[in-house]
Amino acid sequence: MRRNAALLMGLAPLVVLYSSIGIAVSISPWFNWVNNALSDLGHATKSPAAPVFNFGLLLTGALIIVYSALYLSSHAKWTAYTFVFMGFSMQLVGAFNETFGLLHFYVSVLLFAMLLVCALVYFAEKRCYLALITPFAAIFWVMYFQDIFFQGAALPEIFSSFAFLPCFLMALRRACTSSDEAAVCTR
């Protein structure tokens, strides 16, 4: 029973996050993956998708916090602490949308930095090599800040999210199993 609850609570943030992004993109014909940031979908005065996108971020963050506190903490204590902070930073992005200007930029940077911190802490705590995929997302951020291919941040944002998925899913898998064994992790 606990395993099923942990699995559901761990998968729920992913379902909510990617569903809200998908719905927001689908009701925003103006959105372009190369020229926009995902946060453009959450602009409270310019985007009709703002309620869906911002609520999706708020709910996803809350679900990550609950999952981390209730289930991940028994598997990886320090990782759970960083996941809680990452969930909170995701809520900050939803609460302080683009209408908040520079504050939104700072909380967005915090969120993406926390993805990296979570992955590195999980690697340090559990020696899960899949967590080391996450730092490769930096390549897309360098391309973005150097104006190479990306004019908007949406692609680096979604690539960062996808690069973090193996770490998140491995932590979920290991939190849901009774044994702490995984083929790609050494301990």
What does the pLDDT read at residue 24?
A: 97
What pTM was estimated for this model as a whole?
0.89
Amino acid identity of residue 23, one-letter, is I
Task: Indicate the burial class of 154 (C-beta count within 10 angstroms; 0-12, 13-18, 19 or more).
Answer: buried
Q: 187 lies in a domain?
A: no
Q: 181 lies in a domain?
A: no
Residue range 94-122: average pLDDT? 95
Q: 97 lies in a domain?
A: yes
Residue range 161-184: average pLDDT? 76
Task: Indicate the burial class of 133 (C-beta count within 10 angstroms; 0-12, 13-18, 19 or more).
Answer: middle
Q: 11 lies in a domain?
A: yes
Q: 98 lies in a domain?
A: yes
In the chain, how many domains are there?
Answer: 1
Q: Three-state DSSP class for 185?
A: strand
Q: 184 lies in a domain?
A: no
What does the pLDDT read at residue 14?
A: 97
What does the pLDDT read at residue 1?
A: 59
Lookup: tokens for 123: 């690697």
What does the pLDDT read at residue 12?
A: 96
Residue range 90-110: average pLDDT? 96
pLDDT at 178 over 60: no
- Between CA 37 and CA 33 the distance in angstroms is 7
Q: Are 75 and 175 in contact (CB under 8 A)?
A: yes
The domain in which residue 135 lies consists of 2-31+39-176
Residue range 79-99: average pLDDT? 96
DSSP state of 132: G
